[in-house]
Structure 1
Amino acid sequence: MGKLQVRPYGSWKSPVTTDLIVGETIRLGLVALEGEDVYWIEGRPSEGGRNVIVRRSPDGTLTDINPQPFNARTRVHEYGGGDFVVHFGTVYFSNFSDQRLYKQEKDHEPVPLTPANERRYADMVVDQQRNRLICVCEDHSNKEREAVNSLVAIPLDGSAIDGQIQVLQSGNDFYSTPRVSSDGIKLSWLTWNHPNMPWDGCELWVADLDDIGNIHGARRVAGGTEESIFEPSWSPDNVLYFTSDRSNWWNLYRFQHDEIEAVCPKEAEFGTPQWVFGMSTYAFVSPERIVCSYGGPKESGFAFLNTKTGELTAIESPFSSHAQIVANKQQVAFLAASPTSETCVARLDVATNKIEVLRRSQKAAIDASYISEAQLIEFPTAHDLTAYAYYYPPKNADFQAPEGDFPPLLVISHGGPTSSASKNLYLSTQFWTSHGFAVVDVNYGGSSGYGRAYRDRLKGQWGIVDVEDCVNAAKYLVNKGLADPNRLTIQGGSAGGYTTLCALTFTDTFKAGASHFGVSDLNVFVYDTHKFESRYLFGLIGPYPERKDLYYERSAINFTDKLSCPVIFFQGLDDKIVPPSQAELMVNALRAKKLPVAYLAFEGEQHGFRRAENIKRSLDGELYFYSKVFNFELAEPVEPVQIDNL
C-alpha cells in the first residue's frame, strides 16, 4: 500500500461507486424450501426492479421461475411480502402489474388463478387436502370505501377465474399469517383492527376445518389490543407455536391442551414488527427441534432450540443476522448478513451444521480496507434515558484527512418508525464512509429489538423522542471529537424522512438534510395514505381529529419559518404511502423562503426506489448537494443537481 493521500473529509475517491452499487446488486427476499430445492426472490434493479423467483437445484443450477415481464410482488398493505408459495414443484405467485395470482408449472407459461379485478392476494399457504390456496385478500373494488381485507380460499383447479373464491374470515380490518396444521384439520391466523398496528396488539385465532374446507369453532387463543403476536406456526406434530411480547420481549410460546406455555423465556426478541407478510424468525427441523434467531441489547444468537427442555444450542455462523428462516429435516435456508458481508441466501446442512452461501446480493467484493464496521454505541438522551445507535467512522485505505480536520456526520433516521438499524453491511452506508463521512444509524426510542417498553417510548411522542435521540446521537459524537459540529447532516426515508424534517425544522443542530419520500404534513397524511397505516398516527401522535392540534404542532410544513439550512428531497411520483404532495409542499415553502433546496422526482417509482438509474441518481445527487452546501470538491464529477437559492 502506498502513501496515504491527504484530502479533506468528503472529497475522498471511493471504490464504492454508485455504478458498482446498482450494477452488481440485487435485493433478496422471501425464501422457501421444498425437498432439496431452495427458492427465493431477487429484486433486480437492472430489470426495472422486477421481482424474480429463483430456484436453486441440489446441483447448484439456478433457474428463473417467473419469465419476463412477470413480477412476483403483491401490493397487499402496499408493502407486500408473502408473494409466492411452492407445492410439489409448482409455484403460485402474485403478479405486480395486475395483482392476480398465477400458477407456474415447470416448462409452462404462468396461468392466472384469479379473475382480473381490483383484488390483491398475499401470504399464501397450500391446503393440500382440499386442493386450494388459503391467503389474505384485499378488495379495492369499491372506491367509495376503505379496502376490505379477508381470508379466502382459492381452488387450484382454475375455477376461481369464474368467481369461485370462498371467504373464510372477514369483518375485521386486517388479517395475516393463515396457516394449516400439519394434519390439515385446523387453521390459525392473526387479525387486528384500527387503530392498532400488528406490533401494538393483534389476536391469534384457531378454527377447525371440515372435509370441504368450511371453518367451525373459531376461537381466540392469545393476543389482544395490548399484546403483539408474531409468526404463528404449526409443528410437525400439530402443536401451535407463536411469538408474543407479553413479557416485554417477543418470546416463543406454544398453545396445547388449551394452555399457553413459554418455550424459552429470555430478555431477547425472537420476533420482529410485521411490516410485510411472510416474515420468519424460526422454523421446525422436527417436533423437538426449532432453528431460531434472536437478538437484543444484551445478547443475540442463531441456535437450535430443544422444544422439550427449552435449551438453546448455538450454531456456529459467520453471520450476525439471520432472517426469513425456513427448514425441513435436511436443511435450513435463510437470509444472512454481517458487518463485513451484505445480505445473502445461505443454507445450513442439519446433519453437519455446515453453512454455505447460495446467492449473494452483491457480486463485487469490496476490500476490507475500505469497509467501515459498525460500532454499537449507547448514548444519553432526554429524561435521563439511554438510546442506541451504530456508528461508522470514515474509512478509506487511500486517504487521510488534514490534521485537525473533523469529518462531516450523516445521521440516519430509519423508517417505520417501528423498524430498526442493524450492523449489517450496506454498501449505501459504505458509500458515505469511504468518501470521508462519518455515519451514525440511530435506533431511537420506538425502534424494535429492545423490548416493548423501548418501542412504547414513541407512543404519542413521534416527532419528539425520535428527534431528541437523533440530535443527542450527533451531539454525543461531536463531544467525542468524532464529528464536525458545522457539518452535521441528517437523512431518512418515509417515517425517517419525517424525523429528518422535524429535526431540521424544530432544532438548530443540523446544517443540511435529505428527505427521501418523507412526511411533512401529518394532517394530509391522515387523509392521503393507504389503509394499513391510515390510523398508525393515532398511536404515534394522538386520536384524530380530537388532537388535531398535535398534528399541526408536529408538522414541519407549518413552521418553515424555523428552517434555516439547505434540504434536498427525493420522491417517487407513484408513491401511495407518502404521496408526492408531501415533498412538493415543503419544496415550495423552502423556495419561497429563499433557502437552498433541491427536488428530484422519479416517474414510475413508488415507496422506495427500485430502478438502478434512480438509486444511482439519488446517492450521487445527495453527495453532490452536500459538496455544494459544505463547499468541498468531489473526487470525481457526478451529474449535477439543480439547487435553487444557492
Structure 2
Amino acid sequence: MSHARYGTWPSPIDAALVAARDGRPEYLTAVGEELWWTAPRPAEDGRRALLRLTPDGRARSELPPPWNVRSRFTEYGGQPFAGQSREQDGPLVVFCHFADQRLYAFEPDGPEQRRAPRPLTPPAGRGGGPRYVDPLLLPDLGEVWCVREEFTGDRPTDVRRALVAVPLDGSAAHDPGALRELVVDGHFLAGPRRSPDGRHLLWLTWDHPRMPWESTLLRLAELDTGGTRTVVGTPRTLLGGPSEAVAQADWAADGTLLAVSDRTGWWNPHRVPLDGGPPVNLCARQEEFADALWKPGQRWFATLPDGLLAVLHGRGAARLGVLDPSDGHLVDAPGDWTEWASTLAVVGDRLFGVAASPRSGPEIVELDTATGHARVVAEEHHDVVDPAYYPDPRLRTFTGPGGRTVHAHLHPPHHPHYAAADEEAPPYVVWAHGGPTGRAPQVLDLEIAYFTSRGIGVVQVDYAGSTGYGRAYRERLRGEWGVADVEDCAAVARALADEGVADRDRLAIRGGSAGGWTAACSLVSPATEGLYAGAVISYPVLDPSSFAEVTHDLESHYLTSLIGPPDTAAARYRERSPVRRADRVRVPFLLLQGLDDAVCPPEQCERFLAALDRVRSPHTYLTFEGEGHGFRRQDTVVRALEAELALYRQVFGIERGG
C-alpha cells in the first residue's frame, strides 16, 4: 500500500469512461413474447435507442441514428412507445421521435415497404408540439390512444392536454381532423388504461398548484362498446383528493382495479371497487410501494397471470417482490440487487425489471415466478475497471435541526493501492439530488467512483422532501425549500467533520436542478457561512421570483408548496433567492448550464452572474449547446466532469495527481 495525499491518487476511472456509461435502460415493455426498451447512447448525441430482446435471447437495436425514441411531454418525457405482436409480419410498434415529437409506426419484421417508420401524427407546430406520451396500441380499433400535449400560446404555460385516438392508417399525418379527442379532464392527464373487457377507461389527473405526488385523482369513465369508441356518461372519481396521491393505477386480467395510493401516509397497493366503495389496502406497511410520478408510464407494480402482483417496495430503496393480494404475503426476489427502477414487464410467468447494486450498474433482470430463479438477460454489467476501485457505500442517518432524522449514503475515499497518512482527514463533497422530490439510489455510480478513487469522499443526502421515507418526510420541505434542505446537507457535513471522517476545511457541495438550488443557497445562507470551500451548480433554479415565468408548465406552480403562495410569501422568495443574496458568495464555484434547457432556462444563470459582477466572486461558467435539463451527450459529460475535478483541486489545495 502506497501513501499519498487524498485527492492525488491515480485512478483508471477517467471522465470518458464515466460518460460512455451514463444513463440506464428505461420503459421495459412486453410485446408478445419479446421484451422491448430504450437505452442511452451518449456517443450518438445522447439519443435513446430502441432495443428488442427476442425469445432466442438476442438483443439488438431496431432503429439506427438519428432516430431518438423519447418524448418531451412536460419536458421530462414518459413512456415513448408501445408494441403489439401479430401472427403475421411480426410486431407493430408505435413510438415518439424526439426531434419532431411526432408518432411513427413501423414493422421491423414486415414487408420491406413497411419497415421504415411512417408518421401517424401531423408535423410539429407551435412550441415544438404536439407531444405524445404513454401510448396504448389498440389494433382492434385501428388506433393508438395516448396523452397529447399541445401549446396554445407563446408562454411555456399555455398548454392543453387531452387523451386522443390516433388512426393507425396514417390519415392524421396530413389531416389533424382525423385525431379524436376522448378525454379532456383537468390540467394534467397521465396513465390511461382500458379495462380488459373494453368497457371502462381509467386515468390519473391533477391540477395546479399541486404536483402529482401531492394530490391526484383516479378517474373512471365508461366506454361505448357499440362502435363509436367514445367515452359516455360523466367520469367518476374513485380515489385521491387534496392530501392523497395516486402514483399508478391499472387493471388485473380479471378486471380488478388496482392502484397505489399514499392515503395512509405511505404509498401502498390497494384494490379499488368500481362501485365507489372504500379501497382495500393489500399490503399495509410503512414502506413505499411507489415513488414520485415525474413521468407517465412509470410502473411500480404489474399483474401476473395467476393473480399475484409484482411490486417494488422499501424504505429509501426499491426492492422487487411478489405479493399475494389475497393475504398480503410478500416474497422478495433473490439476488444482490439493491435498487429496482420504476419499470416492469410481464411475459407469462416471467417478470422483467431494471436492477442495480453498489457493485453493478443497471441490468435487465428476469425473475421466473414459477421457479423463483432470477438472472440477467440483457444490458449485463461488465466491470470496465477492477472493481477494487469502486466505492464501498454505507447507509447512515444523521440528526438535523430539531432532532429530525436525515438519511444519507456515505462513499468514503477508496483505492486498492493507495491510502493517506493517518493524521489526514479526506475532503468530502455533499451531493444534493434533484427534484427536490427525489432520492439517491443505492447503486454503483462511476461518477462517484471517479472522485472516491482519487481520494475525494462523496456523501449523498436525502434531505427533507426526499421520497422513499413516507409522506411526512416529503412534506418536511413544504414552505421550507432553501432552508430545510440546506440545513440537512449542512448537518451531515458538520457531523462528518465532527467525527473526523471529513476535513472540516475541505468540504464542498454540488447539485443539479433543484439540487443546484440547494447548492447555491448553501453559498449564500447565513446558516452555512464558512462551511463550504466551493460548489458545483448545474442547471439550477436561482431566482424563484422569476422562475414561474420562464419554466415549463409542470413546475410553474411548484414553488407554491415549496416556498409559499407568491402573492403572500413575496418576502420569503426574496430572502432565499441566491440572485438577491449574491453578495454573500465568498468561495469559488462552477456553474454548468444547457442552452436548450426549458425547465431551468439559462436566464436563471444569467441573472445570478449579473448580480455577481458587483462582488466579483471567482467562478467558471460553462454552457453546452444541444443540451437540455440534464446532460446526455458524451462530450458534455466529459467536459463537465473534468471541470468539476479541477474546481476541487483548486479549493481543496490538491496538487495535480491521477
Please confirm whether the aligned pair reaches a TM-score higher than 0.5, indicating the same fold: yes
Deviation track 1:440-476 (CA, whole Å, cap 9, x = no partner) reads: 1000010000000000000111001100000001011
- State whether residues 286 and 328 of structure 1, in contact with CA within 8 Å, keep that contact through their aligned partners in structure 2: no
- State whether residues 506 and 651 of structure 2, in contact with CA within 8 Å, keep that contact through their aligned partners in structure 1: no
- State whether residues 511 and 566 of structure 1, in contact with CA within 8 Å, keep that contact through their aligned partners in structure 2: yes
Once structures 1 and 2 are overlaid, which stretch shifts more, 230-239 or 356-365? 356-365
Once structures 1 and 2 are overlaid, which stretch shifts more, 6-15 or 198-207? 6-15
Q: How far does residue 426 in structure 1 lie from its aligned partner after superposition?
A: 0.8
* Identical positions, percent: 37
Structure 2 partner of 1:319: 337
Deviation track 1:120-152 (CA, whole Å, cap 9, x = no partner) reads: 100111234322111111011532661111111
Matched residues in 2 for 1:301 and 1:628: separation? 40
User: Is 1:623 the counterpart of 2:639 in the alignment?
Assistant: no
Equivalent residue in structure 2 for 1:131, among 105, 119, 142: 142
DSSP 3-state at the match of 1:524 = helix
Q: Could you tell me which amino acid in structure 1 is paired with residue 230 of structure 2?
A: N
User: Is 1:306 the counterpart of 2:356 in the alignment?
Assistant: no
User: Is 1:213 the counterpart of 2:229 in the alignment?
Assistant: yes
Contiguous gaps of at least 5 residues in structure 2: 86-90, 110-114
Q: Could you tell me which amino acid in structure 2 is paired with residue 121 of structure 1?
A: Y
Q: How far does residue 26 in structure 1 lie from its aligned partner after superposition?
A: 5.0
- State whether residues 287 and 307 of structure 1, in contact with CA within 8 Å, keep that contact through their aligned partners in structure 2: no
Deviation track 1:571-624 (CA, whole Å, cap 9, x = no partner) reads: 101111001121222234335423220111111110000000110111111001
The 1:362/1:588 distance shift into structure 2, 3 A limit, reads farther
User: Is 1:240 the counterpart of 2:247 in the alignment?
Assistant: no
Matched residues in 1 for 2:372 and 2:142: separation? 35
Matched residues in 2 for 1:491 and 1:301: separation? 28
- State whether residues 342 and 360 of structure 1, in contact with CA within 8 Å, keep that contact through their aligned partners in structure 2: no
Q: Could you tell me which amino acid in structure 1 is paired with residue 54 of structure 2?
A: S
1:515-594 alignment, distance < 5 Å: 515-594=537-616
Matched residues in 2 for 1:24 and 1:256: separation? 45
Give the aligned CA root-mean-square deviation in angstroms: 1.6
User: Is 1:499 the counterpart of 2:518 in the alignment?
Assistant: yes
Q: How far does residue 66 in structure 1 lie from its aligned partner after superposition?
A: 2.3
Structure 2 partner of 1:192: 206
- State whether residues 436 and 465 of structure 2, in contact with CA within 8 Å, keep that contact through their aligned partners in structure 1: yes
DSSP 3-state at the match of 1:358 = strand
Equivalent residue in structure 1 for 2:120, among 110, 113, 121: 113
Equivalent residue in structure 1 for 2:161, among 149, 158, 161: 149
User: Is 1:635 the counterpart of 2:638 in the alignment?
Assistant: no
Equivalent residue in structure 2 for 1:97, among 99, 105, 116: 99
Structure 2 partner of 1:175: 189
Q: Could you tell me which amino acid in structure 2 is paired with residue 198 of structure 1?
A: P
1:475-494 alignment, distance < 5 Å: 475-494=494-513
Structure 1 partner of 2:56: 59
Equivalent residue in structure 2 for 1:74, among 56, 71, 74: 71
Deviation track 1:466-518 (CA, whole Å, cap 9, x = no partner) reads: 00000001011111111001110000000000000001111221110010111
- State whether residues 333 and 374 of structure 2, in contact with CA within 8 Å, keep that contact through their aligned partners in structure 1: no
Structure 1 partner of 2:486: 467
Aligned length: 632
Contiguous gaps of at least 5 residues in structure 1: 637-646
Q: Could you tell me which amino acid in structure 1 is paired with residue 572 of structure 2?
A: L
- State whether residues 22 and 40 of structure 2, in contact with CA within 8 Å, keep that contact through their aligned partners in structure 1: no
- State whether residues 26 and 362 of structure 1, in contact with CA within 8 Å, keep that contact through their aligned partners in structure 2: no
Matched residues in 1 for 2:396 and 2:5: separation? 26
Matched residues in 1 for 2:426 and 2:503: separation? 5
Structure 2 partner of 1:159: 171
Once structures 1 and 2 are overlaid, which stretch shifts more, 133-142 or 197-206? 133-142
1:272-421 alignment, distance < 5 Å: 272-296=291-315, 301-323=319-341, 324-360=343-379, 363-421=382-440
DSSP 3-state at the match of 2:326 = coil
- State whether residues 284 and 328 of structure 1, in contact with CA within 8 Å, keep that contact through their aligned partners in structure 2: no
DSSP 3-state at the match of 2:94 = strand
- State whether residues 427 and 502 of structure 2, in contact with CA within 8 Å, keep that contact through their aligned partners in structure 1: yes
- State whether residues 587 and 597 of structure 1, in contact with CA within 8 Å, keep that contact through their aligned partners in structure 2: no
Structure 2 partner of 1:639: none
Structure 2 partner of 1:13: 10
Matched residues in 2 for 1:521 and 1:361: separation? 43
Matched residues in 2 for 1:48 and 1:359: separation? 23
The 1:424/1:527 distance shift into structure 2, 3 A limit, reads same
DSSP 3-state at the match of 1:402 = coil
Q: How far does residue 5 in structure 1 lie from its aligned partner after superposition?
A: 2.0
Deviation track 1:607-645 (CA, whole Å, cap 9, x = no partner) reads: 000000110111111001111222212224xxxxxxxxx
Deviation track 1:311-331 (CA, whole Å, cap 9, x = no partner) reads: 112221221112211213231
TM-score by length of 2: 0.94
User: Is 1:224 the counterpart of 2:251 in the alignment?
Assistant: no
Q: Could you tell me which amino acid in structure 2 is paired with residue 325 of structure 1?
A: L
Once structures 1 and 2 are overlaid, which stretch shifts more, 255-264 or 548-557? 255-264
Equivalent residue in structure 1 for 2:621, among 582, 599, 608: 599
Structure 2 partner of 1:50: 47
Matched residues in 2 for 1:361 and 1:42: separation? 13
Q: Could you tell me which amino acid in structure 1 is paired with residue 143 of structure 2?
A: R
Matched residues in 2 for 1:472 and 1:615: separation? 30
User: Is 1:31 the counterpart of 2:53 in the alignment?
Assistant: no
The 1:361/1:499 distance shift into structure 2, 3 A limit, reads farther
DSSP 3-state at the match of 2:75 = coil
Matched residues in 1 for 2:434 and 2:657: separation? 30
Q: How far does residue 370 in structure 1 lie from its aligned partner after superposition?
A: 1.3
Deviation track 1:256-312 (CA, whole Å, cap 9, x = no partner) reads: 252211111111000110111211111111252111110116x96421111212211
Q: How far does residue 167 in structure 1 lie from its aligned partner after superposition?
A: 1.1
DSSP 3-state at the match of 2:312 = strand
Q: Could you tell me which amino acid in structure 2 is paired with residue 240 of structure 1?
A: L
Q: How far does residue 171 in structure 1 lie from its aligned partner after superposition?
A: 4.5
Matched residues in 2 for 1:359 and 1:300: separation? 20
Deviation track 1:368-387 (CA, whole Å, cap 9, x = no partner) reads: 32111221111110112111
Matched residues in 2 for 1:123 and 1:134: separation? 8
Q: Could you tell me which amino acid in structure 1 is paired with residue 40 of structure 2?
A: G
Structure 2 partner of 1:253: 270
- State whether residues 460 and 540 of structure 1, in contact with CA within 8 Å, keep that contact through their aligned partners in structure 2: yes
- State whether residues 337 and 344 of structure 1, in contact with CA within 8 Å, keep that contact through their aligned partners in structure 2: yes
